């Protein structure tokens, strides 16, 4: 069992990412269950615009695509900008669009039996919308979204502190994140081993 | 100049509404500019399900429809439930759907030259999404949405206090609300007197 | 195994509902697998506004709540109005909000192990958004959303035919609906028998 | 009076863009009214990730920012991917986020008095949501969204033809586009000359 964290922060390494900080709660919960985790910060790669799994010379999406196919669990980690998922998250979704038509040896879309969740931070309101947008898109692609498979942190109303600037609300976000990790893992296990079937005609 | 506040709280009168409490900021700002205001709490009326302006015997929407046509400014006042606008707000939009096809003597959709804004409260995250959903729907119907014509209040992350339970954030929400009132009034005045034209064929 | 269809049409019985017409594809697919189905058209009931599971005298939500607890599979059936889920669908979500805090004997939210999908029709664009909004809300409440657990039908661009007015696109919507039924049933079976666990503290 | 078209296609020049093809309807309508137009295809530029107006060495956003400040009318032109605005459109919004805090000599946010509209194409459902997302974000930033200031084209249900592959629906999309151009221009003129005021404290 492997969990892939795709970080959609706008900040290039080695800058600190607030949403990755919150995602560490889920990583620790997975580690305690002997689930391997990998994190890829997408903005560090040269990912070409497009909607195929390989956009040619220099495109670094193919290694992300490979990591997706190796992972039963996907966690999308994103900030909130103007109340929406980051452009990096949407670029990820566009590149994953090709997976709708990619099938395994049993004619099943490659996302079948895989599960996905979302971790969001923001210095303003918008997390529920971000979660719905990303979950809805991944559901189109074939991922199963376990109940309560997300956590978030922000402060309202109006612009406010960043996640590391305060302890306020951290406990709720962490506890919700541990539940998300558990739900992702439980449903991933329940679906493992070729559970979902190829679409009927 | 008249401003109509349509309150989409789920609570029947005389129960207090948190979103109406925040909306009072805009009402006071309008009053200071000699703009007449009227508030209708929709849940107190027997508004039938449907998408016409009169759904027959006992339907009380027609008086709301009339108030809309008398008002240059519309302020939608709504709580946030599970991160979305209230069902009462969506029912309002469904009944307003008929206005897309209703035209004045100059063949203009009746919503032309009118402006709309949104006031949102919640005990959890979701205000930006609520504002986009309602503004987007009213823009379809023909309302103009002035820049920064909204305010909101909530607290995050997770479930939290209601608006009257704390003073935290009230100043920001009130100041943003006064700006919203000003922008609504300024754009309503700029569009008054038959500014927008009938659609070309 | 039981599948509950909650119809969120605005039309009272015995008027025909376009979205129920499309939902019959899923019903037949469930019947072929010996899954019991029940359909409740919510607009026929007197469902009070509110966010608890029983809003008192005359409120008919409690029998819907009971049907939800008896069903491993929920299919939300809704039209699209001004690009959004119907007000009846949002009212359903508001009433289901109480289920977040309702737990079973094992301290698990009552929606755990249950799955949900969406059937949408419209005479205009909006189905993907409707699916994301409803799935996102049900995921908050604890439902698991299987991959590709939805179908829809509409015609674009602009206002157009209703579902029964044409055969165009019906094949795609039906085939997608059969896949949705299969995915809902497969994941419901995989989660049956107390699979998901109570949230860690 | 100048109208800036920001094209958010994923395709680099000289590849044809479907959404730019539909946007030409608005361009012609503006030209007939002696409104200058400029189109920038954002994917052709090296626009750095970030939320300021200048992200340093090699960042080509500053010339877009300058074009925005020279234009009373903004038209966002975008495809639909997995039911959402393109990642390029979201990147545009992230870079425009800085404009919330940029003010002119009269302490007004620089977007005040400016108007914005949206042109969307897709080979599947999603246009109304795309319009609401982009309009909602631009309203946050201070743009006024005139009533019915958008057009779109797609075909449903399911994946289908691209815009240039058929004539179906083109008339409706073009006529709606001409109305959008007229509404954008009318409201831009009504707001010109310093109409909106600096926010009250």
pLDDT tens, residue by residue, C53-74: 999 999 999 999 999 999 999 9
* Out of A132, A140, A144, closest to residue C144 by CB: A144
How many CB atoms neighbour CB D66 within 10 A? 11
Mean pLDDT in residue range B35-62: 98
The pLDDT of residue A191 is: 98
Q: Smallest CA–CA separation between C147 and chain D, in Å?
A: 14
- Contact (CB<8Å) D128/B148: no
| Average pLDDT estimate for A165-178 | 94
pLDDT score, position D171: 94
Spatial separation of the C-alpha atoms in residues C200 and D24, rounded to whole Å: 56
Which residue in D has a C-alpha nearest to residue C172's C-alpha? Answer: D158
Against chain A, the chains showing at least 3 CB pairs within 8 Å are B, C, D
Q: Do residues D201 and B175 touch, judged by C-beta distance below 8 A?
A: yes
- A contact test, residue of C72, C147, C179, C192 with most A CBs within 10 A: C147
Cross-chain Cβ contact D154/C157 below 8 Å: yes
State how far the alpha carbon of A159 is from the alpha carbons of A156, C89, D97, in Å: 7, 32, 12
pLDDT at C75 over 80: yes
| Spatial contact of D16 and D58, defined as CB atoms under 8 Å apart | no
User: What's residue B201's pLDDT?
Assistant: 76
Least CA distance to C145: which residue of chain A?
Answer: A145
Residue A7's beta-bridge partner residues? A41, A77
Q: Are A22 and A163 in contact (CB under 8 A)?
A: yes
C21 has a chain D CB within 8 A of its CB: no
Please state, for a pLDDT cut of 90, what percent of chain A lies above it. Answer: 94
pLDDT band at A158 (very low <50, low <70, confident <90, very high): confident
Min CA distance, B21 vs chain A (Å)?
15
pLDDT greater than 80 at residue C103: yes
What pLDDT digit, counting tens, does each position of D92-140 carry?
999 999 999 999 999 999 999 999 999 999 988 999 999 999 999 999 9
Average pLDDT over chain D reads: 96
Quick check: helix, strand or coil at residue B6? Answer: strand
Shortest distance, CA D167 to any CA of chain A (angstroms): 25
Which distant-in-sequence residues (6+ apart) come within 8 Å of C37 by Cβ?
C2, C3, C4, C5, C27, C30, C31
First to last CA, chain B: 31
Query: Which pLDDT value is given to residue C133?
Result: 98
Phi and psi (nearest 5°) for B43? Answer: -70, -15
Residues 6+ apart with CB under 8 A from D96: D68, D137, D138, D141
* Range list of H helices, chain C: 18-31, 61-69, 87-96, 127-141, 170-191
- Mean pLDDT rounded to a whole number for chain B: 96
Q: Does C177 touch chain A (CB under 8 A)?
A: no
Interface contact flag, B10 C94, Cβ < 8 Å: yes
Give pLDDT, residue D160.
Answer: 82
Enumerate residues 31 to 90 of chain A having a beta carbon within 8 A of any beta carbon in chain B: 82-83
Residue of B nearest to A161 (CA): B156
Cis-peptide into D157, omega within 30 deg: yes
Q: Answer whether C142 sits within 8 Å of A139, measured CB to CB.
A: no
Model confidence at A75, pLDDT cuts 50, 70, 90, reads very high
Q: What does the pLDDT read at residue C201?
A: 76
pLDDT for D89: 98
The predicted structure's pLDDT at residue D201: 76
Task: Give the pLDDT confidence of A42-57 residue by residue, as tens digits.
Answer: 999 999 999 999 999 9
Is D185 a residue whose pLDDT tops 90? yes
pLDDT tens for each residue of B131-165:
999 999 999 999 999 999 999 999 878 888 899 99
Predicted confidence band of residue C182 (pLDDT cuts 50, 70, 90): very high
The per-residue pLDDT of chain C, averaged, comes to: 96
With an 8 Å Cβ cutoff, is B4 touching chain C? Answer: no
Q: Do D148 and B140 touch (CB under 8 A)?
A: yes
3-class secondary-structure state, position D86: coil
Q: Is B93 on the interface with C (CB under 8 A)?
A: yes
Predicted confidence band at A28 (pLDDT cuts at 50, 70, 90)? Answer: very high
User: How many residues are recorded in chain A?
Assistant: 201
User: What's residue B174's pLDDT?
Assistant: 96
Put simply, whether C141 touches B (Cβ < 8 Å) is yes
Is there a contact between A152 and B125 if contact means CB atoms under 8 Å apart? yes
Q: Which tens digit of pLDDT belongs to each residue from B166-175?
A: 998 999 999 9
Q: Is the pLDDT of residue C159 over 90?
A: no
Amino acid C104: pLDDT: 96
D156 contact C CB<8A: yes
B116-131 tens-digit pLDDT? 999 999 988 999 999 9
Name which of A7-16, A186-195, C67-76, C157-166 the model is least confident about.
C157-166
Residue with tokens 């559970």: A195
pLDDT higher than threshold 80 for residue A156? no
Question: What pTM does this model have?
Answer: 0.97
**Residue from D41, D87, D140, D199 whose CB has the most chain A CBs within 10 Å, to mutate:** D87
Which residues, listed in sequence order, are joined to residue C200 by a DSSP beta bridge? none
Judge whether residue D38 has pLDDT over 90.
yes
Q: C150: exposed, middle or buried (C-beta count within 10 Å: 0-12, 13-18, 19+)?
A: buried
Question: Where do runs of H (alpha helix) occur along chain A?
Answer: 18-31, 61-69, 87-96, 127-141, 170-191
Q: What tokens were used for A10?
A: 């706008």
> H or E element: which one contains D189?
helix D170-191
Place of tokens 């493992």: A192
Phi, psi of D78, rounded to the nearest 5 degrees: -145, 145
Cβ of C175 within 8 Å of Cβ of A200? The answer is yes
C139 touches chain B (CB under 8 A): no
Q: What is the pLDDT of residue B159?
A: 83
For the residues A178-187, what does the mean pLDDT come to?
Answer: 98
Q: Which residue of A has its CA nearest to D86?
A: A90
Min CA distance, D110 vs chain C (Å)? Answer: 31
Question: ipTM surpassing 0.95, yes or no?
Answer: yes
Q: What span, in angstroms and rounded, lies between the C-alpha atoms of D178 and B17? A: 42
What is the pLDDT at residue A179?
98
Q: What integer pLDDT is reported at residue C161 of this predicted model?
A: 85
Nearest to A75 by CA among A37, A109, A44: A37
Q: For chain A, what is the mean pLDDT?
A: 96
What whole-number distance in Å separates Cα of residue A176 and Cα of residue A191? 23
pLDDT, average across residues C81-106 = 97
- Inter-chain contact C132–A131, Cβ cutoff 8 Å? no
Q: Which residue stretches of A33-99 are H helix? A: 61-69, 87-96
pLDDT band at A141 (very low <50, low <70, confident <90, very high): very high
Name the neighbours of D, counting chains with at least 3 Cβ pairs within 8 A: A, B, C
For residue C81, which phi and psi values (nearest 5 degrees)?
A: -125, 120
Q: Nearest-CA distance from D30 to chain A in Å?
A: 29
Query: What confidence tens digit (pLDDT) does each residue in D161-170 have?
Result: 899 999 989 9
Residue with tokens 């958004």: C129
By CB neighbour count within 10 A (0-12 exposed, 13-18 middle, 19+ buried), where does C105 fall?
Answer: exposed
Residues C126-146 have a mean pLDDT of 98
Predicted confidence at residue D70, as pLDDT, reads: 98
Distances (CA, A) of D142 to B3, B72, C93, C198, D96: 21, 20, 32, 45, 10
> B97 touching A, CB under 8 A?
no
CB-based contact D10 A94, cutoff 8 Å:
yes
> How many C-beta neighbours within 10 Å does residue A67 have?
17
Give the distance from CA C160 to its chain's centroid.
25
Residue A57, judged by CB atoms within 10 A of its CB (0-12, 13-18, 19+), counts as exposed
Q: How far apart are CA A67 and CA A73, in angstroms?
A: 11
The DSSP H or E segment spanning C74 is strand C73-81
């Amino acid at each position: 069992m492997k969990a892939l964290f795709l970080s959609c922060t706008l900040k290039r390494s080695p800058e600190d990412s607030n949403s990755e900080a919150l995602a560490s709660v889920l990583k620790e919960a997975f580690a305690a269950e002997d689930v391997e985790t990998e994190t890829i910060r997408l903005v560090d790669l040269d990912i070409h615009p497009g909607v195929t799994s390989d956009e040619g010379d220099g495109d670094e999406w193919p290694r992300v695509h490979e990591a997706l196919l190796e992972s039963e669990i996907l966690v999308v980690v994103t900030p909130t900008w103007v109340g929406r998922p980051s452009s990096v998250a949407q670029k990820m979704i566009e590149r994953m669009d090709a997976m709708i038509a990619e099938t395994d040896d049993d004619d099943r879309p490659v996302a079948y039996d895989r599960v996905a969740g979302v971790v969001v931070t923001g210095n303003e309101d918008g997390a529920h919308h971000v979660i719905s947008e990303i979950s809805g898109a991944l559901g189109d692609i074939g991922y199963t979204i376990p109940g309560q498979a997300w956590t978030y942190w922000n402060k309202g109303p109006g612009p406010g502190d960043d996640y590391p600037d305060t302890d306020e609300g951290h406990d709720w976000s962490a506890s919700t994140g541990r539940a998300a990790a558990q739900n992702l893992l439980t449903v991933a296990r329940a679906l493992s081993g070729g559970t979902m079937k190829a679409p009927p005609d």
